[in-house]
Amino acid sequence: MVSAPFFSVVVPTYNRPERLTSCLAALAEQDYPRDRIEVVVVDDGSATPMDEVVRPFEARLAVTLLRQQNAGPAAARNAGAQRAKGPLLAFTDDDCMPSLDWLSGFAARLAQKPDAMVGGRSLNALPNNLYSTASQALIDYLYSYYGGATKADSSPENGTQVQLDEAQQSVFFASNNIAMTRENYLRLGGFDTSFPLAAAEDRELCDRWQHEGLQMVYAPEVTIRHAHHLSLKSFWRQHFGYGRGAFCFHQVRSQRNEAPIQVEPIKFYTDLLAYPLSRQDVQSPILVSGLFFLSQVATTTGFLWERTTQSKPLKKTAARSVGVDDLV
């Protein structure tokens, strides 16, 4: 790959040194020219600085460590994109381990569709953790429902360019496995940092991306292994936060489209509960279905909590889009 495009990989991190070590180790093993990769790690105010984690990889990767006061992963990603040198950006999280051909897969997709956002597939790295299994299965369902894996003009095995009617839901890619040109990312203003938690800001970026007429390409061959350890308590807290983010997303989207807030129909929830039962790769599907139900109780609670406590509407995203110099 003599003429391989240059990638800047942005990794936000917060208080997970062991996970970050595994992530950087996977990035150091990429089957991609080393002189065409840089990694920008953004420490989002960790209690212990990440210098000792990053330093051992400096001989194997062109890696830069940035620090900021705790402001959330959206702000961290924006700061990393601002510092990035490459024309292409790839985003993953500190608890993710990209496959060996991760960047090669993104490069191939972006060569075909240079202005697209490419979203890959996430695999659960903790199959023995029921809560982590349920969380990943729920993401898989959302990809299916919102179009990333099904509403497309070609087979999932070959990847998809997603084409939706205006009446259909927008396509959604999680922020831990996406790539696009830096130019398009900065032009759209990056991730919306007005969201209160690390929840739904990726969904909002995807929606804004499509609102601007840019393409979304699903590439299931571009994989990461996601090691997000969850307990019952953290599972509830995660989905309560998703509910809060969902309210903010629907509010921003309704303002952008000048339409009332719309939520998912009943069929979304009935299909969701049945989804684990149709998956042969999900262990304990009945228990996972039960956790799906619990997740929706938590999400609804978070949605209502955010709606009740917000003192004023969020500004329109289009009105608050930031320029290149505002992203740090």
CATH number at residue 150: 3.90.550.10
The predicted pLDDT at position 148 comes to: 54
* Residue range of the domain that includes 112: 7-230
Place of tokens 């969380």: 135
* CA–CA separation, 65 and 60 (whole Å): 15
Decide if 131 is inside a domain. Answer: yes
Residues of the chain with pLDDT under 50: 1, 150-169, 314-328
Decide if 162 is inside a domain. Answer: yes
Decide if 271 is inside a domain. Answer: no
Domain count along the chain: 1
Place of tokens 């393409």: 215
pTM of the model: 0.85
Decide if 287 is inside a domain. Answer: no
The predicted pLDDT at position 188 comes to: 96
Size of the chain, expressed as the number of residues it contains:
328
Decide if 97 is inside a domain. Answer: yes
Apex 187 CA angle, 110 and 247, nearest 5: 95
The predicted pLDDT at position 3 comes to: 79
Let me know: does 235 contact 291? Beta carbons within 8 Å.
yes
Decide if 272 is inside a domain. Answer: no
DSSP code of 75? H
Residue 31's Cβ-count burial label (10 Å; 0-12, 13-18, 19+) is exposed
- Paired strand residues for 91: 10, 178
3-state secondary structure at position 35: helix
Decide if 239 is inside a domain. Answer: no
Buried residues in 121-153 as b, exposed as e (16+ CB within 10 A): bbbbbbeebbbbbbbbbbbbbbbbbbbbbebbe
Decide if 303 is inside a domain. Answer: no
DSSP code of 136? H
Let me know: does 33 contact 8? Beta carbons within 8 Å.
no
